[in-house]
Amino acid sequence: MKEIKFIHTADLHLDSPLLGLKYLPIDIFKRLQESTFHALRKIIDTAIDQKVDFIIIAGDIFDGEDRSIRAQVRFKKEMERLEKHNISVFVIHGNHDHLSGNWTKIEMPENVFVFGENVEVKGFSTSHGVTASIYGFSYPVRHVYERKIDSYHKEMDADFHIGILHGNLEGGTDHGNYAPFQLKDLMDKGFDYWALGHIHKRTILSEQPPIIYPGNTQGRHKKESGPKGCYIVTLNEYQSDLTFIETSDVIWTTENIDARDCKTFDDLYRLCLQTMDGLRKEGVGQLLNFSIVNLNNEFLNLQYLKDELLDALQEEEKVEDNLIWPYNIELEEAVGWKRNELASESDFYEEIFRVMDGLQNIDEMVASLYEHPVGRKFLQPLTTEVVASVKKEAEKILIQGLLKK
């Protein structure tokens, strides 16, 4: 059976700063500064350990068009590690590290093939004689708006055809609309795999053939939350297999805390510490945003409380593999209200309570949930007590939301 195995990664953004952080201790700053390089090293370690045939890097290796010498040297050293294990690397440059940038060029080892500004094809053959045609192009300038997908065509007689494209699925608005394409465009090419880059959120656009955004390898700000990584891809004549490998050294995360039972600062402080201890993961650091709700009125100066609490929690942290660094705290006071008083003060609230009291046929409203093959496993039977509890909680959420506005 003919089979090929490779790693698909993209958007390494080497030497990119992590945004939204301030007043970092020097040792923590150094760890975060190394995070993109840690991700690269994890990819190379995985490639060597898994004995892949090659690696695809689908654009934006470097964070800026100037490509710092530090980043290039670190990248070259990792490529040299791959060369010692006869692992090839196929690279395209994207909008961040386009070919027209002003940088001091450092030559890469011979196992690294960089695609030029026009779509071209590069042949590859494994030690077992399995062949692949790999297609791609690098951005000649920062902004490439034309439909480069139209220049991809099957060439050469190969067992597998793999396209590399740093571009935007038309309709997506989170990133620049560079080298735009539609899903049908890729499907119609008849390729066996599409290695995409540019979108930092891991996304599988199609399973057959696989059309994949692996996302970036290290989150750089709070909007790039959760684990980041790359894919190990195995293709054979009958199927494809995708395995996600987490590479991020630190992840951005948000944790919600209900502080209704906290009467003192010490209560709140200890609750946050307990929460942090429960979140720790061996070998992974976390940049934590606390969202604390239902603070009682005894906490009068919220800004002062936020600053003091953040300082106290940061004081406890040391640079370890399972570091948790609270970088922000959001505070929200509890909203107190009484049903009778609201109803007497406003016809609007009186009408809401009248409608809530008159709600019938709850079982019909939630029937679709109970019919869902997965969802129904987590639902309680709709007893009279459960219905009453649901109505009460729904009313509470609605009224508190309105009062906050």
What number is the average pLDDT over the span 146-163? Answer: 96
In DSSP terms, 132 is beta-bridged to: 124, 160
User: What confidence score (pLDDT) does residue 215 get?
Assistant: 98
Query: Do residues 55 and 69 both lie within one domain?
Result: yes
> Taking the model in full, what pTM does it have?
0.83
Is the domain of 17 the same as that of 132? yes
- 382 and 308 in a common domain: no
Same domain, 16 and 107: yes
Identify whether residues 273 and 195 lie together within a single domain. no
Same domain? 184 vs 321: no
- Reported as type and span, the H/E element at residue 80 is helix 69-84
Dump pLDDT digits (tens) for 159-210: 999 999 999 998 766 667 899 999 999 999 999 999 999 999 999 999 999 9
> What is the structure's pLDDT at 220?
95
Q: Name the domain count of the chain.
A: 3
123 shares its domain with 235: yes
Q: Region 325-329: what's the mean pLDDT?
A: 96
- Residue 198, pLDDT score: 97
CATH number reported for the structural domain that contains residue 101 in this entry = 3.60.21.10
Does one domain contain both 8 and 127?
yes
Give burial (CB, 10 Å; 0-12/13-18/19+) of 380.
exposed
Say what the pLDDT of residue 168 is.
96
Domain that holds residue 279: 250-333
At which of 191, 223, 246 does a domain end? Answer: 246
**pLDDT category, 134, cuts 50, 70, 90?**
very high
Please spell the DSSP secondary structure of 311-340, one letter per residue: HHHHHT----TT-EEEEEEEEEE-----HH
Residue 255 and residue 214 share a domain: no
352 and 295 within one domain: no
Estimate the crossing angle of helix 384-404 against helix 347-357, to 10 degrees: 160
Determine the distance from the C-alpha atom of residue 201 to the mean position of all C-alpha atoms in its chain, rounded to a whole number. 5
